[in-house]
Amino acid sequence: MQPHNAGRRQQGLPVVVSEAEVREMVARLSAEIARDHPDDEVLYVVAIMKGALMFLADLVRHLTMPIEIELVNARSYQGTQRQSEVEILDDVASLPIAGRHVLLLDCVLDSGETLAALRRQVSARAPASLKTCVLLSKARERTTDLRPEYVGRTIPDVFVVGYGLDCGNRWRHLPYVAQLPPDRASKGEAR
């Protein structure tokens, strides 16, 4: 059965990663994570909000080890414009990280600065293990040497929305990832 809004959800944007491909990538990543982490130890999943919202929800439902979830707010974009400074808005020092198996999650790796900043803060708190996972990685030069252990796939270096990713806090609800051309971003379309 088609969902009632299947037509409207197309939005006329060029699809970069289809809903089916997202599903397939999430299943594959969860199998890789399960292979590397024992089934009887707690995996502490720390997800970057709000972009990793959908990815987190889908990924953890494939995992069978005990899971604890933490949400960390970070900000690096205003609309489609990158800010110079990455801001980790939450206090990582207050999280129970020492001695835990930690998995950092983000939806997209762009410059790598956000995950690198969070990774530094988590790493300083003596986790038992620390790995990073991104659904998407943009094909571009990185300004950091962070290389996530788990990557869904590489995408072209374009601004994308959907599956958690936003422009001005909109478009996150799309079940696929699509390119947002600059003219549509500047109109601030309400969808």
In the list ligand IMP, Mg ion, none, the entry touching 160 (Cβ below 5 to 8 angstroms by class) is: ligand IMP
Going from the C-alpha of 114 to that of each of 146, 160, 175, the distances in angstroms are 10, 17, 24
Identify residue 130 by its one-letter amino acid code.
Answer: L
- For residue 168, what are its two tokens? 């001005």
**Those residues with Cβ within 8 angstroms of residue 57's Cβ, 6 or more apart along the chain or in another chain:** none
What is the contact mask toward ligand IMP in residues 69 to 98, using x (rule: CB under 6 A)?
-------xx--------x------------
Query: Nearest-5° angle of CA 100, CA 65, CA 61?
Result: 115
Q: Which is closer to ligand IMP, CB of 2 or CB of 84?
A: 84
- The yes-or-no answer on residue 106 being catalytic is no
Q: DSSP label at 6?
A: T
How many C-beta atoms surround the C-beta of residue 166 within 10 A?
A: 19
Contact call for residue 166 and Mg ion (CB under 5 A) = yes
Q: Please pick, from the candidates 26, 47, 109, 122, the single residue that binds ligand IMP as defined by CB under 6 A.
A: 109
**What are 106's strand-pairing partners?**
134
Window 90-149: residues binding Mg ion (CB under 5 A): none
Q: Which is closer to ligand IMP, CB of 95 or CB of 109?
A: 109
Q: Which is closer to Mg ion, CB of 26 or CB of 108?
A: 108
Q: Which is closer to ligand IMP, CB of 63 or CB of 158?
A: 158
Cross-sheet strand order for the sheet of 160-161: 15-17, 177-179, 160-161
Residue ranges that bind Mg ion, judged by CB under 5 A: 77, 166
Q: Which residue numbers are catalytic? A: 110
Residue ranges that bind ligand IMP, judged by CB under 6 A: 48, 51, 76-77, 86, 106, 108-114, 159-161, 165-166
